[in-house]
Chains A and B, each alone.
Chain A
Amino acid sequence: MTDDAANQIKPSKLETPVAVEMVGMNKWYGDFHVLRDINLRVMGGERIVICGPSGSGKSTMIRCINRLEEHQSGRVVVDGVELTNDLKKIDEVRREVGMVFQHFNLFPHLTVLENCTLALIWVRKLPKKRADEIALHYLKRVKIPEQADKYPGQLSGGQQQRVAIARALCMSPKIMLFDEPTSALDPEMVKEVLDTMVQLAEDGMTMLVVTHEMGFARQVASRVVFMDEGQIVEANVPEEFFAHPQHERTKLFLSQILR
């Protein structure tokens, strides 16, 4: 593989121009109405940053996109596939959508390399040798190929999160979901993870990122979505969002996190 190819992550092409579409989506936990009438259309190549106070439903919303959470009404369509109880559809979507979690969720009993090759071997049904090549390529891409044979527990938080990103990228996803990827990291580790994400954004990946890193939002977001009490309160391009927030709740939130 040439150096050029090694430094680029070509996102797989979407089938439709619209990557994710949520229409009138509602979700309840028992009696609690967590997501209220969510309408959001994400075009291919867009980078959406979702922010808001804790408990506002940000994570729940992006977890509905790969059906880690089930919505009760409305529609969620991911690259032309509508999510229903149909397991085939769910599998199809999960194969094409990568996810990075706050607590990494790496598999502690497998080495870094095995973490990355697992889905290639069992979901994509690739031979082990080919899977190893792909995994090493992406580990190189997140700058930790030398850790391939270690176990996740032996790595720092930042390294673990980069492994998690590599694990998701191995499946050549069309869309990447990030659920507070830097919130559980020591301050010294945040930058290395954000740099990887910036690189990914520059390569044209469609991304939905739940984060409080407003610097990251300014730098890469095509739109910033602000949520409160299960609703989308405001969404705008970052320049406008930060300079001229419209809703009172947004103003309050920004005044509290941007000091």
Chain B
Amino acid sequence: MTIAEGDLAVTEIAFVRRAQIPPQPPPVAMTGALGWLRANLLSTPFNIVLTIIIALLLIWAIPELLKFLLIDAVWSGADRDACREIVQHRPIGACWPFVYERAAYFVYGSYPIPLRWRVNVFFAMLAIGVAWLLWLNAPRRDLGAIYFFVVLPIGSFILLHGFPAIGLPVVDTVLWGGVLVTIVLASVGIVVSLPVGIVLALGRRSPKPAVRLFSVIFIEFVRGVPLITVLFMASVMLPLFVPQQYEPDKLLRAMIGIALFASAYMAEVVRAGLQAIPRGQYEGAMAVGLRYPQMMRLIILPQALKITIPNIVNTYIGLFKDTSLVLIIGIFDFLHTIEVARIDPKWATPVTSTTGYAVAAVFYLIFCYGMSRYARAMEARLAASDKR
């Protein structure tokens, strides 16, 4: 007489498995498009309600957006009449000729037209540097780092500011504007804030009280003040104390203000990462004979920075958008150039402002989303050592 394998357990006290159960495919409801829908969109009543609400929002927003940006948009014209409902006798969406005409201003600000090639070369140099550094399989990344951190800053300064000795006339920074200023401010902030933030974070955890006190005071002071105040301090208060001929350039002051501000935030982000590293890692590193700087550089920081990548990028994204605050102290960053252009009487129409802001939104979105995507990819790559 034969007994089914599964019955043995209930029918007999002693049980020995005689046949392995082979793996079987999961039920249909768990896989495929239907399974995905069920698991992700319709898993609970609350999720069903959310799904419906979001679907309704999208149905409401997307056609309106497409209508404004594309269907009703005006694609050519010489002045405001092209974009006025009263003149055109049709619903008017985005006023794109306004954007074409002012595009150069949005990118270069008032940078002298014959010298704008210098800005283009700067953009190209920066693009090469960023690609070299961010593409992790790029050849000679050590040279890339030297290029990015030494050649690029010096080269950009000579190029953008000018260097009369080699025939590049000086362009005063008051003429700089648009994307150029936004990119310069953000790059300086991004490049400066991480190393300074790391040093401050290490300082805050230092056993030496003086170092710790300095770091704490700096971080708490800068974090406790709005960026606008820092910028005001730099542009309005500083000239009261410093004789005019020694007064640093206004753009430079904004740069320093933003970089220090971002550094203080970065310091706290990095500190959170440092605190997440178990003590055993420090002990392991010390026990094999590494000294403090080696231990930090080779063992602690790589792990701490890896877990803080999302927060570092979060700070970078915040910093990138915060650069638009320099508008307050009269620096013509990208958003400020749009502000100026949209009130130009030549293009004064009910849709000009909306069009300008739409361009700004797309610009900031592309950069911030780009940073976010890159960070995700980086996290996935570094997760290799997390396989447990």
Q: Do the beta carbons of A101 and B385 come within 8 Å of each other?
A: no
Given that A109-B302, A109-B303, A153-B386 are contacting pairs, would A101 and B288 also be in contact in the complex, using a CB cutoff of 8 Å?
Answer: no
Determine whether the beta carbon of A66 is less than 8 Å from that of B387: no
> Which residues on A sit within 8 Å (CB–CB) of B291?
87, 91
Q: How far is the CB of B381 from chain A (nearest CB, A)?
A: 12
Measured CB to CB, the nearest residue on chain B to A69 is B283
Nearest B residue to A103 via CB reads B280
- CA of A241 to CA of B285 in the docked complex: distance in angstroms? 36
Q: How far is the CA of A162 from the CA of B7 in the complex (A)?
A: 44
Contacts of A119 in B (CB 8 A): 288-290
Given contacts A68-B286, A167-B288, A171-B288, contact A151 B280 (CB under 8 A): no
Write out, one digit per residue, whether chain B residues 282-307 have a CB within 8 A of any chain A CB (1) or not (0). Answer: 01111111110010001100110010
| CA of A103 to CA of B306, assembled, Å | 22
Q: Is the CB–CB distance between B387 and A151 below 8 Å?
A: yes
Instruction: Determine whether A74 belongs to the interface, using a CB cutoff of 8 Å to chain B.
Output: no
B287–A99 CB distance below 8 A? yes
Dominant secondary structure at the B interface = helix
**B388→A168 contact, CB < 8 A:** no
Q: Which residues of A contact B294 (CB under 8 A)?
A: 122-123
User: Are the CB atoms of A151 and B287 closer together than 8 Å?
Assistant: no
Q: Which of B287, B303, B385 has the most CB of A within 10 A?
A: B287
Task: Check: B33 CB closer than 8 A to any chain A CB.
Answer: no
Complex: A152 Cα to B388 Cα, angstroms? 8
Give the docked Cα–Cα distance between A81 and B44 (Å): 68
Determine the chain A residues whose CB is within 8 A of the CB of B3 once the complex forms: none
Assembly CA distance A171 to B385 (angstroms): 24
Determine if A105 and B384 form an interchain contact, defined as CB atoms under 8 angstroms apart: no
- Please report the C-alpha to C-alpha distance between residue A98 and residue B384 in the assembled complex, in whole angstroms: 28
Q: Does A107 contact B (CB under 8 A)?
A: yes
Known: A91-B291, A94-B287. Is A154-B281 also a contact (CB below 8 A)?
no
Cβ proximity bits A133-173 to B, threshold 8 Å, 1 near / 0 not: 00000000000000000011110000000000001100100
A249 contacts the other chain (CB 8 A): no
A118 at the interface (CB under 8 A from B): yes
Given A109-B302, A109-B303, A118-B298, A68 and B287 contact (CB-CB distance below 8 Å): yes
13 pairs, A vs B, C-beta closer than 8 Å: A94-B288, A97-B287, A98-B287, A98-B288, A107-B299, A107-B303, A108-B303, A109-B303, A109-B382, A119-B290, A122-B298, A123-B290, A154-B387
Chain A to chain B: the 3 pairs with minimum beta-carbon distance, closest first: A105-B284, A119-B288, A105-B280
